[in-house]
Structure 1
Amino acid sequence: MAHGDTTDAAAARLAELHNHFREYQATGPQQGHATTVSAPAPMRLDILDHITASVREVAEHTLHANPDAGPFPERVQDAYAWMHSNLAAADEADQLRADAIEYRQYLEHCLEQRDNAAVRKEVRQLACPKCGCWGLMWSLEMGRVICSNSECVDRDGFSTTLSLARFAHARAVTRQKVRQARAT
């Protein structure tokens, strides 16, 4: 199962979030503001919640697929390598779900860091799972992937859109099909 580049990218993004973006960031000049009664949080709590949810999802999936998985790593960025090492003997469906989780979380980490260009670049590298055209675009306003093919619409006539989870699953399935084709 080839996952090195995505694992490294997702782990690097998670490590960067964990190490740097948790720190409380001032949003502008502080003059003229009323003093607070309590000190601000020492980190950005929304980033901490994102990291916690990401790591929890990886751990829950791994333990569901392999109840005998070893102890969880101490560093959060090692969570993806831990997941893949503990799912090496798991069935194909669990490995496919792990790939989809990891890739979706990579895109979510990019968005948490406000790196929309990375998400747009990733979205352009996959054909639409519904029509097969290479016209996928990322819509920051909608928070969804949109197919630009005017023929690719839903039953109400709106452009086909995909959540990050569906997009990540489509990518994992496509990569699985490529691996199977190369193996024969």
Structure 2
Amino acid sequence: MGYEDSSTTRAAAGMRILQEEFTAPRARTADGAPRARAVHAPPPCDLGLLDHLQQSRRELIDTTRVMLAGHPTPQPLPPAPADEGIYQWMVESTAHLDAGRRRAQDAIVYRQGLEHALRAGDTLVIRREACPGCGCWSLMWRQQIQRAVCIQRECRDDIGRASQWELRQLAHHHIANRPQRAAK
């Protein structure tokens, strides 16, 4: 099992957790306290989360199709699964492509794994990433700006602000600095 399998497994597990745990119908409080009567029922789950899951799935399907465009495939592309198996579907469908395209795919999968963890409230996944600017383990997630910020005083941008990194930048940095996959 290669290094990419762990990020694929982590992204799939994150998607499964979001689907199973965070999209479950919200429980009503039974504390007996009086409440104002709602005109409309609240949504059964976080609709933004459902949009996020659908967008993640769509991105994987579209990316796979773009990567396969112009490249002969050994067999027709099977339909994409509707669950977390879509990550394995993407890896298996593009296994015959060159290393550069697979690295781009790995960066998307890794970024989505980070997004799923952050959606579930796990901001510690950012602390496990080295800062692309200084190489230190000093990144903190800032929800307000949707970026990782380096808290090292010496790690500043051109105008003196703390270095900030988007998730896609962290994913590309992570994939570029990991050991290359073994050829199949």
Q: Same fold (TM over 0.5)?
A: yes
**Equivalence for 1:137:** 140
Task: With the length of structure 1 as denominator, give the TM-score of the two structures.
Answer: 0.81
Summarize deviations over 1:74-98 as a string: whole Å, max 9, x none.
Answer: 3420011011111112222321121
Please identify, of 59-68 and 70-79, the stretch whose mean Cα deviation from structure 2 is larger. Answer: 70-79
1:104 positional shift: 1.2
**Equivalence for 1:44:** 46
In 2, Cα distance between equivalents of 1:148 and 1:43: 35
In 1, Cα distance between equivalents of 2:43 and 2:134: 47
In 2, Cα distance between equivalents of 1:43 and 1:124: 29
The structure in which a higher percent of residues are helix is 1
Residue type of the alignment partner of 2:23: R
**Equivalence for 1:87:** 94
Aligned-residue sequence identity (percent) comes to 33
Which blocks of at least 5 consecutive residues in structure 2 are unaligned? none
The aligned runs of 1:1-184 (5 Å cut-off) are: 2-26=3-27, 31-36=34-39, 38-67=40-69, 70-116=77-123, 120=124, 122-175=125-178, 178-179=179-180
1:39 positional shift: 4.1
Residue type of the alignment partner of 1:78: G
Number of residues of Structure 1 aligned to a counterpart in Structure 2: 175
Q: Does the CA contact (< 8 Å) of 1:23 and 1:44 recur in 2?
A: no
Gap change, CA 1:112 and 1:123, over 3 Å in 2: closer
Gap change, CA 1:19 and 1:135, over 3 Å in 2: closer
Gap change, CA 1:88 and 1:42, over 3 Å in 2: same
Which blocks of at least 5 consecutive residues in structure 1 are unaligned? none
Gap change, CA 1:100 and 1:31, over 3 Å in 2: farther
Which structure's relative contact order is higher, taking Cα pairs within 8 Å and 6+ residues apart?
2
Residue type of the alignment partner of 2:134: C
Summarize deviations over 1:98-153 as a string: whole Å, max 9, x none.
Answer: 1111111111111221222xxx2x33333322233333333344332122332221
1:17 positional shift: 1.5
In 2, Cα distance between equivalents of 1:161 and 1:35: 42
1:64 positional shift: 0.4
Residue type of the alignment partner of 1:130: G
Q: Indicate the SS of the match to 1:108.
A: helix
Q: Does the CA contact (< 8 Å) of 1:73 and 1:82 recur in 2?
A: yes
Q: Does the CA contact (< 8 Å) of 1:24 and 1:44 recur in 2?
A: no
In 2, Cα distance between equivalents of 1:110 and 1:74: 21
